[in-house]
Amino acid sequence: MKIMIASDSYKGSLSSKEVAHYIKKGILDVFPHCQVDQIMIGDGGEGTAFSIIEQTGGRLITINTYNALNQPIKATYGLLKKDCAIIDMASASGLTLVKENNVLKANTYGTGLLIKDALNQGCKTIYLGIGGSATNDGGIGMAHALGIRFLDCHQEELEPIPLNLPLIETIDMENFDQRVFNTQFIIMCDVSNPLCGPQGASAIFGPQKGAKCQDIKFLDQGLQHLANVVKKTFHQNYQDLPGAGAAGGLGFGLVAFCHGQLHSGIETILKILDFEDKIKDCDLVITGEGCLDYQSIYGKVPIGVASIAKKLNIPTIAIAGSIGEEIEPVYQYLDAIESSVVRPGSLSDAINQASNNVYQATIRIMKSMALGMTLTKK
């Protein structure tokens, strides 16, 4: 029997690699002769570049850049091959890199410097994971790092921060890095939110970045103004694209300024890792994430993994830290779901016991499989 493990991390407790380790241990304790392979997977959020580079034999590049509040930091991105880079925007502009976020000043300039360095390396394809952001600037910080200037009604240059979004009247492209137009930008995104409105970047993701009610209204109006100026300048309307509101509008900015293409994060990552080819001779796939619920069908790792396995008629089982409400839609993709937590307890208990819980859940699955095999023989 051959089993592939392809799980997301359990946020706050176990990395994808650690989850795979404890699942593998549980499998081999019941089926010691089973062949077990594993792939570390994310959905385009934090840690995506590290995970992919580790598994594809690429190399990591670390540069001096800035976090979302313009404080000097070092950030790392990956080179998959000579002319292809993979960048996590969270490695420069992520929420975890700022102690106390100021969403009216937080910007994506540091991410733009990562892109510029990849261009200096000769990259013609750049994959961008845009999860985990601290920003709500519509990508103007990133664009400024690549040479774009944003001017007010007096043709004075504005600092590229959300506070100045309503003041932008002109987008000056004179010094824009022309290499961008010869580069393919593939934006790995697991949300479908538009730029503005009740489902937009500010309303949905602003609060988790520290935005208060009055900030949300201001930011939404600012992004709407930016979208209007972009439409006037480029004669294109990008604000309603699914994913335009990702990473505080960075999805919008990458499309508008870099002609980027928005793609499902998990589908893109599985393609890079050649996942379909790697599971074609497997008997079972085991996947998982911290919480499985009805929202998991919208671009989460277990569903992306199960969709490919289903195409090859390979059954998929998910192990979840918790199982949420309205789980029924998930069964369109997964053959079975096992919760790793089976007794009442606090969140801290679940986090502290995560490794043993995943291991024990795997043991239960494997013993059930062993029983099924015994009954089938009779």
Mind listing the pLDDT tens digit for each residue in 126-171?
Answer: 999 998 899 999 999 999 999 999 999 999 999 999 999 999 999 9
pLDDT number for residue 287? 97
The number of distinct structural domains making up the chain is: 2
pLDDT number for residue 45? 63
pTM of the model: 0.87
Per the prediction, the chain carries an average pLDDT of: 94
Per-residue HEC secondary structure of 268-333 comes to HHHHHCCHHHHHCCCCEEEEEEEEECHHHHCCCHHHHHHHHHHHCCCCEEEEEEEECCCCHHHHHC
Q: What is the CATH number of the domain that holds 71?
A: 3.90.1510.10
Of 251, 266, 281, which marks where a domain is finished? 266
CA-to-CA separations, 243 to 97, 226, 227, in angstroms, rounded? 23, 16, 14
Rounded distance, CA 365 to CA 353, Å?
18
pLDDT number for residue 128? 96
**Pair 138, 256 in one domain:** yes
pLDDT number for residue 336? 96
Contacts of 282 (CB under 8 A, 6+ apart): 2, 3, 4, 37, 309, 314
Q: What is the band of 11 on the pLDDT scale with cuts at 50, 70, 90?
A: confident
Residue 90: which domain range? Answer: 48-266
Residue 197 lies in a domain: yes
**Pair 236, 327 in one domain:** no
Q: What is the CATH number of the domain that holds 35?
A: 3.40.50.10350
- pLDDT at residue 46 tops 80: no
**Pair 33, 141 in one domain:** no
**Pair 124, 206 in one domain:** yes
Rounded distance, CA 153 to CA 71, Å?
29
What percent of the chain shows pLDDT beyond 70? 99
pLDDT number for residue 346? 80
Q: Which whole number is the average pLDDT over 207-225?
A: 96
Q: What is the band of 227 on the pLDDT scale with cuts at 50, 70, 90?
A: very high
Q: What is the band of 10 on the pLDDT scale with cuts at 50, 70, 90?
A: confident
The strand ranges marked E within 149-225 are 149-151, 170-172, 184-189
The lowest-confidence range among 16-30, 33-47, 61-75 is 33-47
Of 239, 266, 293, which marks where a domain is finished? 266
Residue 284 lies in a domain: no
Residue 138: burial class (beta carbons within 10 Å; 0-12, 13-18, 19+): buried
What percent of the chain shows pLDDT beyond 90? 79
pLDDT number for residue 12? 74
Q: What angle do CA 102, 265, 252 make, to 5 degrees?
A: 50
The lowest-confidence range among 196-200, 247-251, 295-299 is 295-299
Residue 285 lies in a domain: no
Please give the radius of gyration of the chain, using alpha carbons only, rounded to the nearest integer: 22
**Pair 226, 326 in one domain:** no
Residue 275 lies in a domain: no
- pLDDT at residue 372 tops 90: yes
**Pair 224, 353 in one domain:** no
Count CB-CB contacts under 10 A for residue 89. 37
Rounded distance, CA 306 to CA 123, Å?
32
Residue 128 lies in a domain: yes
**Pair 9, 59 in one domain:** no
pLDDT number for residue 48? 80
CA-to-CA separations, 341 to 16, 170, 288, in angstroms, rounded? 18, 55, 13
Residue 65 lies in a domain: yes
**Pair 103, 249 in one domain:** yes
Residue 294 lies in a domain: no
**Pair 197, 108 in one domain:** yes
Distance between first and last Cα of the chain: 20
The lowest-confidence range among 4-13, 92-101, 173-182, 311-320 is 4-13
**Pair 116, 262 in one domain:** yes
- pLDDT at residue 43 tops 60: no
Q: Which whole number is the average pLDDT over 360-364?
A: 96
The lowest-confidence range among 49-53, 59-63, 150-154 is 49-53
Residue of higher predicted confidence among 57 and 223: 223
Q: Which whole number is the average pLDDT over 50-78?
A: 94
**Pair 215, 360 in one domain:** no
**Pair 209, 322 in one domain:** no
Residue 90 lies in a domain: yes
Mind listing the pLDDT tens digit for each residue in 257-291?
Answer: 999 999 988 899 999 999 999 999 999 999 999 88
CB 112 within 8 A of CB 139: no
Q: What is the band of 44 on the pLDDT scale with cuts at 50, 70, 90?
A: low
Question: Of the candidates 316, 101, 136, which has an alpha carbon nearest to the alpha carbon of residue 221?
Answer: 136
